Structure 1
């Protein structure tokens, strides 16, 4: 088993976890626009921008900036790497929870 103490800090930070969880809820191959992510996560424009850049820098999200009707729009999707990292993150949390549950059961006996 992998070291259960290792948690992907890039995802574990609360704002980035909200972003990644929101993107995981969008159909694979689809993109969320900035406004939708802002609504789903409750983050401010500035915080959302900073956290998206961090996720993009590590390859977890793809950002596409384009003009729609002469207005700039930002679209975001989770990358294959980001999807794998998210599943690994969830798997790690499950292992930690299962280990804690097993320890509690032993203590009760």
Structure 2
């Protein structure tokens, strides 16, 4: 059986990583934009981002957007690698699963 990364495997974190993986390697997304895309509350999104950041998968950058504070998010190289490994492990798991009768 394939090992699925437990940090990514939680549904909300999988959605976060999958969304950020659509960006280019040097691109970032505003926290508020990701929150809007995923329909998550700020607190819930922050909690999952913290776990991903602690694992080294997501980089969080605080900045100013005009006069307002802004939080930018991006997958790290480690995060991209972990997501690709997760996808490959999931594909292998699905390929080896026999349908039930």
Q: TM-score range by the shorter chain?
A: over 0.9
With 61-70 and 80-89 compared, the bigger mean Cα shift is at: 61-70
1:74 paired with 2:71, answer yes
Higher-RCO chain (CA-CA 8 Å, sequence separation at least 6) = 2
**Greater percentage in helix:** 1
Give ranges in structure 2 of 5+ residues lacking alignment. Answer: none
**Cross-structure match for 2:44:** 47
RMSD over aligned Cα atoms: 1.5
Deviation at 1:82, TM superposition (A): 0.2
SS of the counterpart of 2:70?
Answer: strand
**Counterpart residue number, 1:33:** 30
Of the two, which has the highest radius of gyration? 1
The 3-state SS of whatever aligns with 1:87 is: helix
Which SS does the other structure have where 2:74 is aligned? strand
Structure 1's consecutive aligned runs of 4 or more residues displaced over 3 angstroms after TM superposition are none
Distance across 2 between alignment mates of 1:78 and 1:64: 11
Q: Secondary structure at the match of 2:25?
A: coil
> How far is the alpha carbon of 1:76 from its aligned partner?
0.3
Unaligned 5+ residue runs, structure 1? none
**Distance in structure 1 (CA, Å) of the matches to 2:72 and 2:20:** 11
Give, in whole Å, the separation in 1 of the partners of 2:39 and 2:83: 20
Distance 1:70 1:48 in 2: 23
TM-score (norm 1): 0.87
Question: What do the CA deviations read for 1:65-99 (whole angstroms, capped 9, x no partner)?
Answer: 01121211000000000000000000000011110
What TM-score, normalized to structure 2?
Answer: 0.93
